[in-house]
């Protein structure tokens, strides 16, 4: 078995924007690019693809309009997002036979922008954990090191893009599910302000944490994605008005003397010292190149994993309905535990969760009265085992022994959940490697200031360029 992805001789390993340029100048055709992706998927052992719609994709590629923003680009869509006629499983055995009857709003907008919707990428069950391993599909592997996880819940998208299978793929981030896999696989991952890209067309309001976006190889790909997909929809009444010119305006925002608080652990996570040393190099680069002003701000977010889970379990319990508890044996162990917790939910516990969210919002607002950006790690450590369980060690330190069960388990999302609970944007930027595995630098910004985060990422991309895909054999 190969330790890195088995790939065809010539899948497109540049970013999606350069592929569109190649279509327009006649270097390659959309059908040729699609066939290369299909060939790469066929030979890959990453287990990143849950469903392949090859015939429909070929038909779309033949008719591709390459003047459109993503005209002719083959794309993956995360398993938790609806594509008409595709399996709508939520990555769970419970819904293995269910088929979607409509496209999500994001998929609709991608089609209108010329994308070739080709493959469904694997995810963790109901998006519940940061490891892509389910009873329905098995484990998805990290293209940088077979046997390690690409993260979750958008792990299949991350593995497909970093592994050279597809130029770009969709993701969703309810607790870090874009940023965590981006960090583990060396990709760019932006979680927008809550509501930036509309959900639906059957959007639920709770838990007020879920954001849509992409796993991308470049800053301009991410900006183009947001150009295409952002903007209000009446099917998601919490979605935001459209903001234009994301790609056009890259590199135009004045970052000089913006204040930045650098707190790698956000005051509650345990982050590996080796990773901090690598991240510090990128921080030093950004401070210098962007002429940022580092400020000392006290940050000590509570981990928030339990409160985050409680706010999500209400929707899960509703979706399972009267199938539960008879279906419990078909659920992964983590979702089984979650549903047992859900059975004990009361009005008081729901109220406590909302009070916790209100306090988090207050803390975030107080912090952003003193700084413009927060810089921290994306993940506590490099990618752990593909089969799981969720990591309870950091650089060999047993967190169970040092801190106990709750903090050890909560460490996995302690760095990403605060941005979800408060709705602020955050981005994971590739920032080097530890022991041959990627690490991500996370920058958290104020509401509605995603474009500033992209400009910071652009500085890193230009001054400390990252590998667009994992190295081949």
- Active-site annotation, residues: 78, 153, 177
- Give the sign of the dihedral formed by CA 53, CA 315, CA 172, CA 201: positive
| Dist CA 8 CA 41 (whole Å) | 9
| Dist CA 132 CA 129 (whole Å) | 8
Mind giving me the DSSP string for 218-245? SHHHHHHHHHHH-S-BTTBTTPPPP---
Contact 269, 411 (CB under 8 A): yes
Sequence-ordered strand ranges (E) for 263-361: 293-294
Q: Which residue bears the tokens 């970093």? A: 162
| Dist CA 262 CA 274 (whole Å) | 16
Radius of gyration of the chain (CA): 21
| Dist CA 372 CA 467 (whole Å) | 29
The Cα angle at residue 281 between residues 374 and 301, in degrees rounded to 5: 25
* Residue 341 CA neighbour count, 13 Å, CB half: 19
Q: List the beta bridge partners of residue 134.
A: 138
Give the residue from 193, 203, 197, 171 showing the smallest Cα distance to 184: 171
- Give the sign of the dihedral formed by CA 45, CA 46, CA 51, CA 56: negative
- H or E element at residue 189: strand 188-191
- H or E element at residue 29: none
């Amino acid at each position: 078995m190969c330790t890195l992805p088995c790939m065809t001789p010539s899948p497109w390993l540049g970013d999606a924007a350069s592929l569109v340029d190649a279509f327009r100048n006649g270097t390659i055709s959309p059908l040729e690019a699609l066939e290369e992706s299909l060939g790469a998927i066929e030979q890959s052992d990453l287990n990143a693809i849950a469903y392949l719609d090859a015939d429909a994709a070929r038909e779309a590629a033949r008719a591709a309009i390459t003047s459109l923003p993503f005209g002719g680009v083959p794309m993956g869509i995360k398993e938790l997002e609806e594509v008409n006629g595709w399996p709508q499983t939520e990555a769970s055995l419970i819904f293995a036979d269910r088929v979607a009857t409509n496209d999500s709003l994001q998929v609709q907008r991608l089609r209108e922008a010329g994308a070739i919707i080709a493959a469904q990428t694997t995810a963790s069950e109901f998006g519940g954990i940061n490891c892509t391993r389910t009873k329905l599909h098995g484990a998805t592997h990290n293209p940088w090191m077979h046997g390690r996880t690409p993260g979750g819940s958008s792990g299949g998208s991350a593995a497909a893009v970093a592994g050279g299978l597809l130029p770009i793929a969709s993701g969703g981030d309810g607790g870090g599910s874009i940023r965590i896999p981006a960090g583990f696989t060396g990709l760019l991952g932006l979680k927008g302000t809550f509501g930036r890209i509309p959900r639906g067309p059957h959007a639920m309001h709770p838990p007020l944490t879920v954001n849509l976006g992409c796993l991308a190889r470049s800053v301009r790909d991410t900006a183009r994605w947001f150009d295409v997909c952002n903007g209000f929809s009446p099917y998601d009444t919490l979605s935001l008005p459209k903001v234009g010119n994301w790609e056009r305006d890259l590199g135009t925002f004045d970052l000089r003397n913006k204040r930045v608080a650098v707190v790698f652990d956000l005051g509650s996570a345990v982050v590996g010292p080796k990773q901090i040393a690598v991240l510090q190099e990128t921080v030093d680069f950004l401070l210098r190149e962007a002429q940022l002003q580092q400020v000392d701000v006290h940050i000590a977010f509570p981990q928030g994993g339990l409160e985050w889970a409680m706010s999500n379990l209400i929707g899960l319990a509703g979706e399972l309905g009267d199938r539960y508890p008879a279906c419990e044996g078909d659920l992964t162990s983590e979702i089984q535990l979650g549903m047992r917790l859900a059975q004990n939910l009361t009005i008081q516990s729901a109220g406590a969760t909302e009070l916790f969210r209100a306090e988090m919002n207050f803390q975030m607002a107080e912090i952003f009265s003193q700084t413009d950006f927060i810089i921290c790690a994306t993940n506590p450590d490099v990618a752990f085992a593909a089969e799981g369980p969720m990591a309870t060690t950091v650089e060999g330190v047993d967190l169970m022994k040092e801190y106990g069960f709750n903090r050890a388990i909560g460490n996995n999302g302690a760095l990403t959940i605060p941005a979800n609970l408060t709705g602020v944007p955050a981005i994971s930027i590739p920032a080097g490697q530890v022991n041959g595995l990627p690490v991500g630098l996370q920058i958290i910004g104020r509401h509605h200031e995603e474009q500033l985060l992209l400009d910071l990422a652009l500085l890193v991309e230009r001054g400390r360029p990252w590998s667009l895909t994992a190295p081949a054999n």
